[in-house]
Amino acid sequence: MTNANWVSSPRGGALRFAASDYILVDPGLGYSADLAFAIWCKSSITDYTTNGYAIMQYNAGSGNREWGLLAVSGTDKWGLQIGNGAGAIGDLETTTQSIELGWHHLAITGNDAAKSWDFYYDGKFVQTLSVYYTFGDQGSVFTIGSPPGSSASFLGDIEEVAVWHRQLSASNIKQLYENPNAMTEVVATVWPNKQSPWYYRAQESLICG
């Protein structure tokens, strides 16, 4: 973790990210095919001059970006980026959802074979995004806040980051939004064989030792 600070939140605690702050998960998640991810975030601005990556999976050796949830530069919108392991940028799809101040829940669930991704905001379906690529090389590093050494920083607070190696239903996502303690219930629903998704919850004891 680099520089992010512990702050309080409605769900207990979060990490605050300024320029170039990030959490690095290495090795990366290694997920392919269907995927779902969700976060609670509180952006400090609504108009980004550079892309602000809330979460991203990428290949550290080549810089290729495999997938990411981001605030899209030059707009006030959220976006999804899907790479193919061969290009640094890949396919960037901008949603119709504006970036708003205050706490909000974002979730995306994808059908990789169909190149179709459903975007949810505060528990409600917003739109389906059609992308050009299926997943290629899934990359070696997962980050929260920004890619290391990059100016493409999310500015604000993030907590309750979770990634599933399968799709989530609309009812799963609504449950995550409405109930602060729903994570274990949703995990039990989507992982009946007691497998676990990757899940990050900001805790001061873990951050501050």
Q: How far apart are CA 124 and CA 119, in angstroms?
A: 9
By the 10 Å C-beta count (0-12 exposed, 13-18 middle, 19+ buried), 113 is classed as: exposed
State the residue for tokens 């607070």: 157
Task: Report the 10 Å Cβ neighbour count for 10.
Answer: 11
Two structure tokens written together for 137: 């090389």
DSSP conformation class of 41: E
In single-letter form, the type of residue at position 61 comes to G
Question: For position 99, what pLDDT does the model report?
Answer: 96
The single-letter DSSP state of residue 99 is: P
Q: Mark 57-67 as b/e (b = at least 16 C-beta within 10 Å).
A: bbbbeeebbbb
Q: What angle do CA 16, 180, 152 make, to 5 degrees?
A: 30
Query: CA-CA distance, 139 to 30, in Å (whole number)?
Result: 7
Question: How many alpha carbons lie under 13 Å from residue 199 in its C-beta half-sphere?
Answer: 13
Which residues pair with residue 106 across a beta bridge?
Answer: 39, 121
Distance CA 58, CA 67 (A): 7
pLDDT tens per residue across all 209 residues of the chain? 567 788 888 887 888 999 888 888 755 565 556 788 889 999 999 999 988 989 887 766 555 556 789 999 999 999 988 776 555 556 788 999 999 999 999 999 988 788 889 999 999 999 999 887 766 555 567 888 887 777 889 999 998 888 887 788 999 899 889 986 666 555 544 443 334 455 555 443 333 22
pLDDT at position 158: 92
- Which sign does the torsion angle of CA 27, 119, 181, 145 carry? positive
Give the pTM. 0.84
The domain locations on the chain are 5-208
Q: Is the four-CA dihedral 143, 67, 31, 86 of positive or negative sign? A: negative
CATH tag, 5-208: 2.60.120.200
